[in-house]
Structure 1
C-alpha cells in the first residue's frame, strides 16, 4: 500500500473538537484543503541532476541514431556489430549478475565467471556487487520503501525514475541486512569492483566505438552514436523487467 501523503485521517481532526455545524465544516474544509508535498514518510525527493542530464543525453542520441539508420548513414556492419555487443552485454546481466551471482542458480568455474564479469562490465549497470545487492533487497522487501525500484511509486519511477532520485533511507538500512558474503569471497567480483571505473569506459564505450572505425572505416560520430544507442536500449531492456513486468 502506498504511504499516506495527504495528512492525518479525518477522525483525528474531530477528536476533542467543538461540535460545529455541517455547513461550517464544509466551508472550512474547502478553504483548508491539505496540500500534497513530495514526501513519503520522512523521505523527501532529492533529484540527482547528473543522472537526469545523462539520461536526457543518452535518449536524445538514441533518437538521432534512429534517424541516421533510416537515412542510410550507418554501415550495415556497424548495425550488426552493435546488435551483437548488446546481446553479449545482456548475457552479462541475465546469465551473470542475475542468475549466477544474485540467485546462485548454477555454479561456474573461474574462466566463465571472468567472461561473464567482463560482459557485465560492457553492460555498465553498476558493478556486480552493487547490482546484486540492489536485486536481493528488491526481492526481500518487494514494493516497500526498501525496494530500490518500488513499483508502488508508479511506472515511471520503477522504470527509470528511481535512478533520478536519491534512494530512500530504507534501501540503505535494509540493504545492510542482506547477506553478501558469497560475493565478498568471490575474487572475480572483488576485482571487478576494484577495477570497474577503469574497465567500464574501455569495455562499454571505447572498444565498441573503435572497432567499427578500424575494421570497416565507420566515422567516429556514427560509431559513437551507435554505441550510445546500443547502451541506452540495453538499459531500457533491463528496466522493463522492473516496470512493465510488475
Structure 2
C-alpha cells in the first residue's frame, strides 16, 4: 500500500510539473503508453519599435519653405507625414531630401551600391555633407519572428523589431554612392597618395568609424584633400 501511495504521489507530482511547463499528461488507454502534448502559446503583438526616432518632428522637404511633421519608418523604409492628424506616406523621388529642422537627422532617398556591388534605392541618413564628399548611414529595422517552445520547459518569445548594424556609404566628387568599409586601412586608401595624411588625421583625432560625429569630422577633412 505504501508503494502504491508513493507511485500515486509521484504521478501527481509529474502531472503538476508538466502542467506548469505548458504540458498536458494524457493517458489514451493505449496499452500503457502515455503521451505528452505541449500546449502552443498564443501569439503576441511584436515588441520594440519600427523607428529610430519615434516622434514626428518638424521637417522640410527639398528646398520647400513649408514645414511638415515627419518621421522615418526604418522597417518599411517609408517617410511618414502627419497631415491633419492622419498619417500619410510620402511618395519618394530620386535625391529627395527630408531634413528635420532640429538637425537630428537629414534623410536622402537615393541610389547606392552595397558591399556586394548590387544597386539599391532607399532612404539614407546624411552624416557628413560637403561639396566634394558626402558620407551616409543606413537605418534599418527587421522583425525577428516569434518563437514557440519546442518543449514545455522553454518560454514563448514574442516577435520583436530589432535594429540592423549600421552600414556606411560614401560619395566623392558627385560620383556613385558606394559602400564604405569600416576597416581603417581601406579608409586611408580612399584618396590615393594621401594615405599617410589620412592615417595621421585619424590617429590624432581618435576617429572611430562607427561614430557619426567622428565620421562627420573625417568627411570634412577628406573633402579638403579632393
Establish whether TM, by shorter chain, passes 0.5.
Answer: no
Instruction: State the structure with more CA Rg.
Output: 2
TM normalised by structure 2 equals 0.25
Higher strand share: 2
With CA pairs under 8 Å and 6+ residues apart, which has the higher RCO, 1 or 2? Answer: 1
